Structure 1
Amino acid sequence: MIVTPAWAGQRLDQILAQQFSAHSRSRLTRWIRDGHVRVDGAPARPSDRLREGQLIALCMPDPAPVVPLRPEPLALTVVHEDEALLILDKPPGLVVHPGAGNPSGTLQNALLHHLPALAHLPRAGLVHRLDKDTSGLMVVAKTLSSHTRLVSALQAREIRREYDAVVIGTPVAGGAVDAPLGRHPRDRLRITVREGGRASVTHYRIAERYAHHTRLALRLETGRTHQIRVHMAHLGYPVLGDPLYAGRLRLPAGIDPELAETLRRFRRQALHAARLGLVHPSEGREMHWEVPPPADMQALIETLRRGPVS
């Protein structure tokens, strides 16, 4: 394409982002740096300022599958599906992305079986992730343009994600945690609150009180790895059952035997992505979904309800 007078003086990456809106600016920038974009036949840089009459040539990379995984017929709980997106209710115990120790049996494998065309999208269309043992709502894009718009909306904090959690302890009131998060300097499996970490904000309110525990409703303002789990532990109210941040199980003195046994058997973090809200990427209308916790977390809550209240 030829640089018009209106484009003269603007950056190359800005113009490409305007003209190829189905692709994210970061993807276009990567293509420029990888040599897939030439200006007047020569390699270019994202920051190059354009001159009227220059010829921009974009040779898109071969659209080979970005996720070369084997499709697997794993069960999916589909809450909503249309031409642009898919909303899922992920069960606890399901790994989202393949990695060390989990080369198969992941949500991505299941998605590729459900819709093979997702192989041509980044991460099989997944817009965000949940930890293996966290359950609940996830959004998957079915087209490249939807993926670009939804990822942009997530980065702009325009997708509303709310969680239910059972925490150890009895906070007096709700509030917000504004504490930066980063990788633990010694334990690479853990995230910690640390100076110089990425800005991270979690809002929480009390949904239900029990004798020694509390059910919280939480809203993510940012979406960092382990954010809710680390922020709640930082406050002194770790998520019940959390193997990384709650420490070993300590049963309160005089606890009801039924509740004691329920707590011993609950071996994952009691965290559930319960509510999701977004603007549809192609229709522009607001949409909202809500799903109840899985059976094990519901049984935990019912047992806590039968005990005394703090």
Structure 2
Amino acid sequence: MPDWLDIAVRVILFIIILFLLTKLSGKKQLSELSFFEYVSGITIGSIAAEVIINTDNRVWHGIIGICVFALFIYLVEIASLHSKKFRDYVEGSGTVIIKDGKVLEDNMKKEKYTTDELLQLLRGKDIFDLSEVEYAVLEAKGSLSVLPKKDFRPITRKDLGLPSVNEKEPYTVIMDGEILDEALTTTGKNRAWLQAELDTQNITIENVFLGQIDTYGTLSIDLFDDKIQVPTPQERPPLMLAHLKKCQADLELFALATKSESAKNMYAKNAKKLDESMQKLLPFLKD
């Protein structure tokens, strides 16, 4: 067999083997790698590359080496599932970097992280002011988990005193101009309802690139022709009320945060006006 054909056969063979081994190892190998997984991946890749390029090596020797190494990794993962101490030793554990709003310099030195790197990780979490952080942990895989201080956390429906809404993932009912009946049935709708919704917008199913139904039963569509304007689904009253209350809460927070008396009065005045408007609209904005 010519060398070029031998190498081509080896490449195809090892691609199949590596694919199968990766599938057997689970989706964890496709996420962020731990130190052990990173080293293991490099080693397996090196074994495969050596056998592929060096035609003097026997293919079966490389296959046996990769399979034995993959088996060892599998056994390590099984042991990690049953022993936290072993898992912490192999995969590492999280290190507290910020606690009670204070940076723990000793822990940063232990992980060999500089202040610039810490600030960079915080910016990745949309935090540009260190004083906004209550607690931060540097995870074993290198990511930073951050708990902002209470005053800097997003406002929730619970904070506004609104009932919780269990939203579900939107269902795709039209794709590439074809109706997906199974997804449509799951939403409790039928083809007649879907056709009626499209008729109100003078749109044919063949022109729809993607159509989805959300938790509230609203149909949103995207057309093949981007020049055609599709009406935006109207916002439901409960969501409108939530947004208004959030605006009022933001104005009150601004009034408390600012040191300018004129700005404080302006924010407080507008928050009061918004509250009065909501009281008038409340009967129309409730569920």
> What range is the shorter-chain TM-score in?
under 0.3
| Larger helix proportion of the pair | 2
Q: Which has the higher strand share?
A: 1
TM-score (norm 1): 0.25
Q: Taking CA–CA contacts closer than 8 Å with sequence separation of 6 or more, which of the two structures ends up with the larger relative contact order?
A: 1
TM-score (norm 2): 0.26
